[in-house]
Chains A and B, each alone.
Chain A
Amino acid sequence: MTSATRMASRNRARAVGAASIVAVVALVEVLIGAGVINAFVVPRPTQILLAIPRIVVEEHVLHRFSQTAQEVLWASLLIAVVGIALGMLLFRFRPLRLAFETWVGALAAAPIVLMYPLFLVIFGRSTTTIVMIGFAAGLAPVILKTVEGLAGTRKVLIDVGRSFKLSSAQQFRKVLLPAALPAVFVGLRLGLIFAMINIVGVEFLINFGGLGQLINELAERYDLPGTYGAILFVILASILFFDLTERIERWLRPVE
């Protein structure tokens, strides 16, 4: 498949995806209009869209979006640097892997967000607390997928490196790491999801700015179109970060 046909195929898939979302939203609109879905629980999609200019002007949603996005960005950078480094360490030293891999797996399942009082004690009521909770929540999948990716490198590729007498550092940089990249990026995306959920959750809980706090305030005022409008901005942040990771992955490893 040439790059032009690949691009055309990708664009077609994206168009189908966007059209499906529009169709689902239209269906929800129709079902609410017909009374099948209670309008007091789920506002009409058109009402949500109409609420967006209001929350932009009155609730400063863009500023809050920027705060949440910055927290997610810092947490993601920490997750990437620390998670990949720890994954490499666990891969390199087998006893460490045997000792800690199960614990790291357990960490992935832990409801980190409930530990927010502890983080508040350590880091105070600040952005650092929110970033650190996001970091702690998103770390495990990056470590696990990095180990999996490195360990799953095809033996023949390692043998090619050995046949060209690569040093350990070259073998790592030129063979193992590029081979592991797809798995590492799966881990990064999972870590990003965990971090995003926890960051918005903590903002919601500790009322310290960001989209989470806004969602909390709007929900308490029973401003449902505004609440759902703010949730749309969380989804937007998620899409932007996903797109960013995809671009970085394609840049580092253009074709699989």
Chain B
Amino acid sequence: MALGAPSLGPPPSALLDVRNITKRFATGDGEIVAVDDVSFSVAPGEFVSIIGPSGCGKSTLFNIIGGLTGDYAGSVTVEGATISGTHPAIGMVFQEESTFPWRTVEDNVAFPLEIAGVAKAKRMERAAHFIALVGLQGFERRYPSELSGGMRQRVAIARTLASEPRILLMDEPFAALDEQTRLLLGDKVLQIHHALQQTTLLITHNLTEAVQLSDRVLVMTYRPGRLKRAVAIDLPHPRDSEVVSSAPFGQFVAEIWQDLREEASRGIEDAESRVRQQGTR
């Protein structure tokens, strides 16, 4: 089992490099440091997960890397070029249901191609390819309201893949789904990752999901969000959800949980103390 400390410098092979990111928010109770000096990099084709308790700044980091949040210290670079704002190299998949309800599955998936001005026949052909890749062939003409939550998230993934991003950035895309669906969709994500060699950065609070999918798991501390530890997951590829029953899988989960437990406990204590303070005001 290969364990490692958080990366201290950008390796020359890095596709995505996140360097010394700090983000502060002003609140009614003073300033909160949501993300504190976070640095890591992701190599081409690598699947990296960032895991941490609620309130550790995971989603803030997602928004910073995706370019939706500005006004932060540090830098985000893709292939050595510093980016600010949204960038075509980074395709985002959101935690919330994000398909366009007024568009069919194929029109949703073809959306980024439509924006790019690709001719209709060509974009429908590309959309069909990505719809098949996420296993939704036969549902091209359906509307999101006719699909299950898991299917809608696959549409969102296919739509982002259709823009052919260098890096797929996902924020807990399966958080609203039940555990069994989540495991099976994990298989689908692994198949896609294997087929496209898609560089992927997943933000999650789910331990099994992180270990099932990743080559590397970065553990974050509870507020302020710092990188606590990087764990290399050297489970064999290709993987599927059966890996969760293996002994090494359990060891990785236990090991990460040791780090995470302390942070999650701090998060719960902090939430409880805030509720108490509100009660005494």
Indicate whether A168 reaches chain B with its CB closer than 8 angstroms: no
Among B68, B100, B101, contact of A163 (Cβ-Cβ < 8 Å): B68
Closest chain B CB from A64 CB (angstroms): 39
B96 touches A163 (CB 8 A): no
Closest B residue by C-beta to A170: B115
- The main secondary structure of chain B at its interface with chain A is loop
Contact A254 B102 (CB under 8 A): yes
Of chain A, the residue at the smallest CB distance from B108 is: A160
With A1-B146, A255-B143: A156-B101 Cβ-Cβ less than 8 Å: no
Q: Which chain B residues border A164 with CB–CB below 8 Å?
A: 86, 111-112, 115, 163
Q: Which residues of B contact A2 (CB under 8 A)?
A: 146
A-B contact count (CB 8 A): 59
> Do B91 and A163 have beta carbons less than 8 Å apart?
yes
Q: Does B92 contact A (CB under 8 A)?
A: yes
Q: A170-B115, A254-B143, A256-B145 are in contact. Are A160 and B86 (CB under 8 A)?
A: no
Given A164-B115, A166-B115, A156 and B86 contact (CB-CB distance below 8 Å): no
User: Which of chain B's residues has its CB closest to A2's CB?
Assistant: B146
A159 to B111, CA, bound (A): 14
Complex CA–CA separation, A165 to B146 (angstroms)? 28
Please state if A157 and B115 are interface contacts (CB–CB under 8 Å). Answer: no
* B216 shortest CB reach to chain A, Å: 24
A253, B94: Cβ atoms closer than 8 Å: no
* B84: A residues at CB distance < 8 A: none
Closest Cβ neighbor of A162 among chain B residues: B86
* Best-surrounded residue of B98, B102, B111, B160 (most CB of chain A within 10 A): B102
Partner of B88, one of A159, A165, A174, A175: A165
- Interfacial chain B residues near A163, Cβ < 8 Å: 66-68, 86, 90-92, 160
Q: How far is the CA of A255 from the CA of B66 in the complex (A)?
A: 30
Interface positions of B from 134 to 159, Cβ below 8 Å from A = 143, 145-146
Could you say which residues of chain A place their CB within 8 Å of the CB of B146? 1-2, 255
The answer, yes or no, to whether B234 is at the interface (CB within 8 Å) is: no
| A181→B102 contact, CB < 8 A | yes
Q: Which residues of A contact B66 (CB under 8 A)?
A: 163
**Option from B68, B88, B112, B160 in Cβ contact (under 8 Å) with A162:** B68
Asked whether B97 is an interface residue with its Cβ less than 8 Å from the other chain, the reply is yes
How many residues of chain A have a CB within 8 Å of chain B?
Answer: 23
A177 CA / B91 CA spacing, docked (Å): 23
A255 contacts B145, C-beta separation under 8 Å: yes
Once the chains bind, are B94 and A159 in contact (CB under 8 Å)?
yes
| 8 A Cβ contacts from B70-111 to A | 86-88, 90-92, 94, 96-98, 100-102, 111
Kindly state the separation between the CA atoms of A159 and B67 in the bound complex, as whole angstroms: 10
Least CB distance from A37 to B in Å reads 45
- Contact assessment for A156 and B102 in the assembled complex, using a CB-CB cutoff below 8 Å: no
Q: Nearest chain-B residue to A255 (Cβ)? A: B143
Q: What are the interface flags for B46-71 relative to A under an 8 Å C-beta threshold, 1 for contact and 0 otherwise?
A: 00000000000000000000111000
Q: Which of A170, A179, A255 has the most CB of B within 10 A?
A: A255
Contact B86 A165 (CB under 8 A): yes
Report whether B96 and A156 are in contact in the complex, using a CB–CB cutoff of 8 Å: yes
Cβ of B68 and Cβ of A157 under 8 Å apart? no
Closest to B91 in A: A163
- A residues 154-190 in Cβ contact with B at 8 Å: 154, 156-157, 159-160, 162-166, 170, 174-175, 178-179, 181
Cβ of A171 to closest chain B Cβ, rounded Å: 10
- Measured in the bound complex, the distance between the Cα atoms of B88 and A174 in whole Å is 18
Q: Which residues of B contact A256 (CB under 8 A)?
A: 101-102, 145
CA distance A256 to B87 in the complex (A): 31
Residues of the B chain whose Cβ atoms lie less than 8 Å from the Cβ of A157: 98, 100
> Chain A residue with minimal CB distance to B159?
A160
Kindly state the separation between the CA atoms of A253 and B103 in the bound complex, as whole angstroms.
8
Residues 240-256 of chain A, each 1 if its beta carbon lies under 8 Å from chain B, else 0: 00000000000011111
Which residues from B are CB-within-8-Å of A160?
A: 92, 94, 98, 100
- 8 smallest beta-carbon distances between A and B, as pairs: A255-B143, A156-B96, A163-B92, A253-B102, A178-B102, A156-B98, A164-B112, A160-B98
Give me 9 other A-B pairs in contact (C-beta within 8 A), A160-B94, A254-B102, A255-B143 excluded: A1-B146, A2-B146, A156-B94, A162-B67, A163-B160, A175-B100, A181-B102, A252-B102, A255-B101
Q: Would you give 24 A-B contacts (Cβ < 8 Å), ordered by A? A: A1-B146, A2-B146, A156-B97, A159-B92, A159-B94, A162-B67, A162-B86, A163-B67, A163-B68, A163-B86, A164-B111, A164-B112, A164-B163, A165-B88, A170-B115, A174-B111, A175-B100, A179-B102, A181-B102, A252-B102, A253-B102, A254-B143, A255-B145, A255-B146
